[in-house]
Amino acid sequence: MTETLERPASDMRTENGAADSPARRVAAWLSDFESALTAGDAEAAAVMFDADSYWRDLVAFTWNIKTVEGPDGVRDMLAATLEHVAPHGFVATEEPTGTPDLTEAWIEFQTQVGRGRGHLRLKGDKAWTLLTTLDELKGYEESKSQRRPMGAQHGADKNRKTWLEKREQEARELGHTTQPYVVIIGGGQGGIALGARLRQLDVPTIIVERNERPGDSWRKRYKSLCLHDPVWYDHLPYIDFPPNWPVFSPKDKIGDWLEMYTKVMELTYWSSTEAKSAKYDEDAGEWIVVVERDGADITLRPKQLVLATGMSGKPNIPSIPGMSGFMGDQHHSSQHPGPDAYAGQKAVVIGSNNSAHDICAALWEAGADVTMVQRSSTHIVRSDSLMDLGLGDLYSERAVASGVTTNKADMIFASLPYRILHEFQIPVYNAIRERDADFYKRLEAAGFQLDYGEDDSGLFMKYLRRGSGYYIDVGASELVANGDIKLASGSVEKLTEHSVVLSDGTELPADLVVYATGYGSMNGWAADLISQEVADKVGKVWGLGSDTTKDPGPWEGEQRNMWKPTQQEALWFHGGNLHQSRHYSLYLALQLKARQVGIPTPVYGLQEVHHLS
């Protein structure tokens, strides 16, 4: 989420002719690397990596999302993949930069079946980090820019079908007389972004969504909700938000954008459709997916099934004694209808992360008497500080002005290995703590328990590790600090008819209880839709294996089960925030396309399952 590697200010072009320039160092390394690869010599390639080094591959070499470490990791990966990948054509695509201590380069390369892009960092003459990503499949390039479709077929043709007639025919036939290759369950931003990629790759796809309209997954949430990530971080593939788009999209506005995007990208989007069951037919090599649409069951038989039902997984509602006897309203935060009905009432919100804060603030604004129950310490970052110090170098108007396009920002971010990402994050959050010291002091004085992550690495590491444990402050913290939102701490012992009782005996009168208690692992969706057996076979989704709270080890190296093959044949998980939905949808789409057209996709290093949920 930030790029703190220093870049030299001087124009490297003037050094071009020098005996030792960034360009020469990179050219020499790439040339030696390619010689080793072409010779099939995994050992020669491996020793070109520093003892402390990371090669992150997104699909290009491994048909997986995989980071290998050090010469041993590189050797093992190359020994398994070199022969069929046949990598070649490594070149720098713009002038490399840096000093002999740290040289950086943007690169391109090819494999037997595709074209790739990547990024290289050298320490001295050894690779420190290498990112390789598959960008397109040869023969299956997207029809864009120079390859745009013509739209009009010039000439005369007695069997001409218009664009509209073809669209209507597809709507009539796909899922009925013809089968989609992919079914995506869940039509939020994840499903939509992936659907757009697959449409461009000509992979017949149906997106199944419970709600009436694309965007409803945002529209139906509490009314004050705005995106917590800024616009530069949130673009969908193909169509950027316009320059007048607000920094933080209001939920209904992002809903409208998703709806129009779905339409103009020509996605087959089955709204008001409930996915009821899915079962993998091993013999046929396809899924049997039953959905209910317009009151009738339809059975789909896709070859691939993607669960894009939300990175947060299924709502986690704690089981508390007395819940069933509580006389007021009670619901999970995801079901919270907004504050309007609760003016003048007593609300208790259990939890202290993003949703808890947003809901408390909205209830207070509507005139409710609000108490937040903090059960464990929480990481708070002020939105301004996060924008400035955490995101500004990659995703901001400033970044755009300095040539860091969204795509480039995504690649820079992808190039930082998860293993060492926290090292880049810790100084950012130290700076934030210094900048906002007064703010944090006032929060603590009000009794709020703060943390900055177990290793002080802050918000984004918490997001990657556990997807929870923080609040991006857009105003609620001030209400906590000044006591407008009352604060209680500790665990909840029970509910009575009209109150919440904490373990220290505190009794909080309540007309409303909101359980802002988070979500379970995404494989819970698989349990519901497919079977517990398949959910267990796949195991926990999300997290890096960092051995911190809610992200148990061992170290996985990449997000568990996301955007890559799982232990269940033909089952995939897609999602995350808008940045991840945008960037990783490309790699998932390419994996699916390759399978559709029969390109061999031997997976290197298929993840093992260490945790069930």
Nearest approach, Cβ of residue 232 and a second copy (Å): 10
Which residues of the chain form contacts with a second copy (CB under 8 A)? 142-146, 148-152, 154-158, 160, 162-165, 167, 200, 223-224, 226-227, 231, 238-239, 242-250, 252-253, 256-257, 259-261, 263-265, 361, 364-367, 383-384, 397, 474-476, 478-479, 484
> Residue 167 CB, nearest distance to a second copy (Å)?
8
Contact criterion met (CB below 8 Å) for 584 and 562: yes
Separation between Cα atoms, residue 586 and residue 133, nearest integer Å = 10
Contact between 273 and 209 (Cβ < 8 Å): yes
Residue 22 Cβ vs a second copy, minimum distance, rounded to whole Å: 23
Give kind and range of the element (H or E) at residue 187. Answer: none
Q: Is the dihedral of CA 282, 283, 284, 288 positive or negative?
A: negative
Q: Tell me how far apart the alpha carbons of residues 589 and 586 are, in angstroms, rounded to a whole number.
A: 5
Which is nearer to a second copy, 250 or 427 (by Cβ)? 250
DSSP three-state, residue 35: helix
CB nearer a second copy, residue 416 or residue 592: 592
Q: Which is nearer to a second copy, 194 or 492 (CB)?
A: 194
CB of 360 to a second copy, least distance (A): 10
- Please identify, using beta-carbon distances, which residue of 130 and 479 lies nearer to a second copy: 479
CA distance 354 to 329: 21
- Shortest Cβ 199–a second copy spacing (Å): 9
Task: In angstroms, give the least distance from the CB of 410 to a second copy.
Answer: 17
Rounded to whole angstroms, how far apart are CA atoms 136 and 554? 33
Smallest distance, a second copy to C-beta of residue 19, A: 26
Cβ closest to a second copy, residue 118 vs residue 230: 230
Q: Which is nearer to a second copy, 245 or 424 (CB)?
A: 245
Of 19 and 164, the one with the shorter C-beta distance to a second copy is: 164
Which of 218, 194, 216, 217 is CA-nearest to residue 206? 194
Q: Which of 336, 349, 346 is nearest to 476 (CA)?
A: 349
Return the number of the residue (202 or 455) whose C-beta is nearest a second copy.
202
Integer Cα distance of 222 and 226 in angstroms: 10
**CA 243/CA 206 separation, integer angstroms:** 31
Q: Which is nearer to a second copy, 235 or 375 (CB)?
A: 235
Separation CA 75–CA 509 (nearest Å):
63
Helix orientation angle between 458-465 and 418-435, rounded to the nearest 10 degrees: 140
Nearest to 329 by CA among 479, 217, 495, 520: 495
CA 49 to chain centroid, in Å, comes to: 29
Name the minimum Å distance from CB 212 to a second copy.
16
Instruction: Give the residue with the Cβ less far from a second copy, 80 or 400.
Output: 400
Write out the two tokens for 551. Answer: 């992200």
Backbone region of residue 419 per phi and psi (left: phi > 0; alpha: psi in -120 to 50; beta: other values): alpha
Please say whether the beta carbons of 409 and 395 come within 8 A.
Answer: yes
Instruction: List beta partners, residue 279.
Output: 288
Closer Cβ to a second copy, 170 or 256, answer by number: 256
Residue 266 Cβ vs a second copy, minimum distance, rounded to whole Å: 8
Dihedral, CA atoms, 310, 336, 467, 588, nearest 10 degrees?
A: 10
Least distance from a second copy to the Cβ atom of residue 236, Å: 10
For the bound state, the minimum distance from the C-beta of residue 8 to a second copy, rounded and expressed in Å, comes to 22
As to burial, measured by CB atoms within 10 angstroms (0-12 exposed, 13-18 middle, 19+ buried), residue 91 is middle
Closest distance of CB 434 from a second copy, Å = 21
Residue with smaller CB distance to a second copy, 159 or 324: 159
User: What whole-number distance in Å separates Cα of residue 24 and Cα of residue 26?
Assistant: 5
Nearest approach, Cβ of residue 252 and a second copy (Å): 4
Local structure of 412: helix, strand or coil: helix
Query: Is residue 55 classed as helix, strand or coil in its secondary structure?
Result: strand
User: 325 or 475: whose CB is closer to a second copy?
Assistant: 475
The encoded tokens of residue 293 equal 């649409």
**Spatial separation of the C-alpha atoms in residues 62 and 39, rounded to whole Å:** 19
Residue 445 CB neighbours (<10 A): 9
Longest dimension (CA), the chain: 83
